Structure 1
């Protein structure tokens, strides 16, 4: 029945249906919370997830191989190739930063030696 008896209208069939729906949804929610919070449910969910992961591995490998072949035939880089290129560019950037720092040290040393010899 309605949670607020002051607004209950026996001639409103949709109101009664909504109350019945709400009551059944509450009952189902309580039952499902009890079921989901069991060790058996956790074990069953884990087993299903493991089975899905095992069975999806070959499919994923096939999709990756197909994508690599497609990209190669279109002369486009694969994800691995882009990742390797990004790593190489990062390495180059680090080396350039190191060289810039060393050049600054050399320039600073040259300036200080010129200042000392000029005085």
Structure 2
């Protein structure tokens, strides 16, 4: 946890989503690989609720006297297992109430 090993890169959209308008613990996620559903998940996969992961981070950094700064991006954890990909693969993620993104590996 908190190792940044699986999220060296990430995508941010241009539209902000107010997390108070969603129940992030039950928000569903679908991951498609080459047009087929390869994984599904929910916000509960992140320590029961993404807010729990953020609280853990804030508390741990507080004990270390390292502040969180306004504007920092916090990734609360994966909602499913990781998938192996290869050149030519297309990956698309959709998260209910938040949006979707896709990538083609070359």
Class of the TM-score when normalised by the shorter of the 2 chains:
under 0.3
Structure of greater relative contact order (alpha carbons < 8 Å, 6+ residues apart): 2
More strand by share: 2
The normalised TM-score by structure 2 is: 0.25
The normalised TM-score by structure 1 is: 0.23
Rg bigger for which structure? Answer: 1
More helix by share: 1
